[in-house]
Structure 1
């Protein structure tokens, strides 16, 4: 098996186990057993559970960094802000297991350096979807638009319905919030 595939398998299995039994209760030995590899083979790629989590975050922050860089170069229009939401929605969808891990292990993530790094990116993203001269209620709408997509991912997972329909609904509400904030139709 190619090295890249092994790394990805380790990340996937680790996320599965973290979801099943929690980060703190999962050991490297259990990850190796689930993969049917030796601990030495696992250590070749990752020395600690934290190394696995950091690698997962690095995989998700690259698209966020690209989104932030792109957004910073665009005109500060409603269309740009709507596109930011669409692209962020796509990133959330692709990284759903990692975002679920973050949500369910907030204390652990907060203790890791990556938690602060991710928070900084989210703050920067929120700055890019709002304007400082907007009334406070509209600024809150802009920030809420981003978190609406998080809420759609986490809190609607236990609500009956098609997962894709729920994701689309969360994006629709987020776009509505941004539109209200920037058109004065609150």
Structure 2
């Protein structure tokens, strides 16, 4: 790693911001959630992109919502960019909070309004490339749907569908499928 491109400095700033976001989130929502650590090995360009996001908001991938209906079904959206079913969520805009981000993304990607009930998961994402490392938080809020008819209005045009699934029968091509099943069981 060289100091010429300043990547080490960016990684350090990002890690400090992640630490702040982690503590602010745990202070706000207590300790009744699952925690996981994910490791991502990326190119230098992708590392720079993710580290800049973390430096801005503490999170590389924004905030997401694990939302369920009264009958226990979970909402997933089809993300065409990764060709997987995922939780609704995305990046932080401006100065919005992580919970505000999750709520906005849920409305954009699925047209669902929900009552938020704290955190389902608070994940740590460790990111590495050619000797550089940093980390960020990935909060997943839990919520109960107040409306259940889905309407995809994603301005990014990444989401092609939104559907409800029984937590024990999530599609095989669901990102972090086993962790989502465990989180759904923990909040049921």
Q: Smaller-chain TM-score range?
A: under 0.3
Scaled by the length of structure 1, the TM-score of the pair is: 0.27
Higher relative contact order (CA 8 A, sep 6+): 2
Scaled by the length of structure 2, the TM-score of the pair is: 0.27
Kindly indicate which of the two structures has a greater share of residues assigned to strand: 2
Q: Who wins on radius of gyration, i.e. which is larger?
A: 1
